[in-house]
Chain A
Amino acid sequence: MKTREINCLLEFLAHASHCYGENTALQHANDAGRDISFSELQLQAHLGAACLTRLDPVEGKPVLLLMEACPEWAASFFAILAAGKIAVPLVIDMPVEEIAGLAAHAGIETAILGQHARHLTPALKGCRTLYPADLFKGDLRQHNTRVAADDTAVLAFTSGSTRQPRAVELTHANLMSNLNGLRSVRQAGPNDVFLSVLPPAHLFELTVGLLAPLSCGATIVYAGTHMPNRILDYMRDFEITHTLAVPALVESLYLEVLFQLSEAEIIDPSRGRQQVAETARRIQYELSQDTLEKIRLGTRSRFGFSLHTLVVGGAAIENAYSQVLKAIGINLELGYGLTEASPIVSIGLAADCPNESVGKPLPNIDVRIDEGGEILVKGRSVMKRYFKDPSSTHDVLHDGWLRTGDRGKLDSQGFLFIEGRIKEAMVTRSGETIYPDEVECYYAHPMLAESCVAALRGEDGNDVPTLFAIPASDDISDEQLDEVFKGLKRNAPNRYKVPQMIRLNQALPRTATGKVRRRLVAESLEQRNSVLDGHSRRSRGTRDE
């Protein structure tokens, strides 16, 4: 399918429907009755659009999409766009009050909810709420939506903080440009099957896990679970070829390799879990081809012989994983991106990339490093602006260049490397972006004189959100502080459970205006630790996850 000239998502859908018609576009792994073909997806989008237009004919209004990952999510997404409105997708595991805050900020009047989001209805007081059953029935009244390429298609929230909600406005052209850039370097086909395990409310899943497969006629199977056993079953049963993954899924596959190594008595599980670097070394230097073939067959009989590409996005991953997975026939695709860039900036197969690189920039994206080491990005996929936030927009967009807030370098061959973060956002191992001010409100306690949350760099390269706590009195013991931390963590929403705490005995450094200098807190600790132990960058403290 040619998408190079297409810069509107509705035209994209019409073209996909025209090219792939009755092929299955979307499937639910656990509910065969919910399969949707490309034609049906197009039909449902227009039925949904007619319904939304009947309820409110004004175009350009935001519509909240609060639904678990399923075929109806995609149909609802396109229905919103086909009605000339703006999709505001949110993940359903957010606290009710946070969803209420974000919905208010976006000016939501209409929300589409999935069956697993019914409990969130209290967050939407005063809003019109619809379910897929309401949306996709009725007549297909002709509606004359006119959507331009530069119209906003998606409002993507990157911060759930109710005090400082931040949403990125992405146009049809932004998203299509990213998709076209991606397709110019990677191609799947109608025989490919993608397993969707991440929420499509995340831009990475939306672009790479939904739009990209639809563009080439591939089928998407929604896993609808986080259970590793079921995900591996689905990989085998649905003959999955591609999956977008966070490190936990990569770890699941790695554990299957370890299981086979233990069955072959190559490792002894009673001696503890073998580190991935050691496994990679043994695979490379110690195991015979026959043994490797046995391991490959053993693992493949578990999750099938079709899977060949794992795309890891949103989080860093230890390089040795790619060597282990390569041995069983799975390519690890790495990348770098951010919501503000729709989101992919660079991509590369781990086997082709230098160690710790995140691949090369997409051909239609310019990347340069400024004098301060910050990665700047330019191209049509760069966002229109931050929603209702001209000041933040002005801070990051200059002459079309987007300041990413990440520090990096480009080598002589054009490979991009991420070296750290300039902004305070933390990207966790699960690929979520979290801002300190979202988290800190859950960690206030009378026994703490002051505290802040900042990221320490984990061994795998991801951020480890860390609570830096200064007790209200020197008499408070480490054990008491630990109990306070555990209690606060227990009460915090899952997304904001900070894995570790570090006790500080001096006041937090602040700017002249009194703002805590969080990065300085983390950096000074990391520097001190690197002096203490020579090579390790892992912090010391209470680790509680």
Chain B
Amino acid sequence: MNENELRDLLTRVSGRDLSKATLNDDLVETLDLDSLTALRMLAAVEKYGGVRFPDDQLDHYRTLGQIIDFVKKENKS
């Protein structure tokens, strides 16, 4: 999953415009998300990226960069 695919996916799930979000922006704060939407975004990444975020560290994946790095790392291993 590359950056553009991730942006498209998260835009569909959240219904928000991610075009201006940088790789380091905190998505919850930048996009004004509630906690359920933030979790639904991660759930969508799990489904389409074939990964599983650790349940006790869900708070750690709040930027596009963090999510991309995680997906890359998981797919390598």
Contact = CB atoms under 8 A, between A and B. Distances in A.
A496 B53 CA distance: 25
A470 B15 CA distance: 34
Contacts of B15: 272-273
B59 A227 contact: no
B37 to A, nearest CB: 9
B26 A545 contact: no
Nearest to A68: B56
A248 B29 contact: no
A331 B59 CA distance: 32
Contacts of B73: none
Nearest to B42: A227
A228 interface: yes
Interface in B31-53: 32-36, 39-40, 42-43, 46-47, 53
A116 B59 contact: no
Contacts of A544: 29, 32
Interface in B1-38: 15, 26, 28-29, 32-36
B46 to A, nearest CB: 7
A194 to B, nearest CB: 19
Contacts of B40: 228, 252, 255
B69 to A, nearest CB: 19
B55 A227 contact: yes
Nearest to B12: A269
Given A490-B26, A494-B59, A228 B39 contact: yes
A545 B32 contact: yes
A248 B55 contact: no
A251 B36 contact: yes
B43 A116 contact: no
Contact of A545 (B34, B42, B47): B34
A248 B36 contact: yes
A510 interface: no
Contact of B43 (A228, A273, A430, A543): A228
B58 A226 contact: yes
Contacts of B59: 494
Nearest to A486: B29
Interface in A521-545: 543-545
A116 B56 contact: yes
Contacts of A304: none
Nearest to A255: B40
Contact of A248 (B26, B28, B33, B35): B35
A229 interface: yes
A224 B55 CA distance: 7
A68 B56 CA distance: 9
Contact of B35 (A68, A272, A430): A430
A490 B42 CA distance: 20
Interface residues of B, number: 20
Contacts of A486: 29
A229 B46 contact: yes
A229 B56 contact: no
Given A227-B43, A273-B15, A545 B33 contact: yes
Nearest to A429: B34
Given A543-B32, A545-B33, A226 B39 contact: yes
A225 interface: yes
Interface in A252-273: 252, 255, 272-273
Interface string A209-229: 000000000000000111111
Contacts of A545: 28, 32-34
Contacts of B53: 227
Nearest to B58: A226
Nearest to B43: A229
Contact of B55 (A225, A430, A490, A543): A225
A477 B46 CA distance: 42
B36 A490 contact: no
Contact of B58 (A30, A227, A251, A255): A227
A92 to B, nearest CB: 9
Among B15, B55, B58, which residue has the most Cβ atoms of chain A within 10 A?
B55
Contacts of A430: 35
A125 B27 CA distance: 36
Contacts of B26: 490
A534 B23 CA distance: 43
Nearest to A252: B36
B55 A226 contact: yes
A230 B54 CA distance: 12
A217 B42 CA distance: 36
A95 B39 CA distance: 22
Nearest to A544: B32
Contacts of B35: 226, 248, 430
A501 B43 CA distance: 30
B20 to A, nearest CB: 16
Interface string A463-478: 0000000000000000
Nearest to A117: B56
A230 B46 CA distance: 10
Contacts of B46: 227, 229
Given A227-B58, A490-B26, A490-B29, 6 more contacts: A227-B43, A230-B55, A252-B40, A272-B15, A494-B59, A544-B32
Interface of A: 30, 68, 116, 224-230, 248, 251-252, 255, 272-273, 430, 486, 489-490, 494, 543-545
6 contacts: A68-B56, A225-B55, A228-B43, A230-B55, A272-B15, A545-B28
Q: What 7 A-B pairs are tightest by C-beta distance, nearest first? A: A229-B43, A225-B55, A248-B36, A116-B56, A251-B36, A228-B39, A227-B43
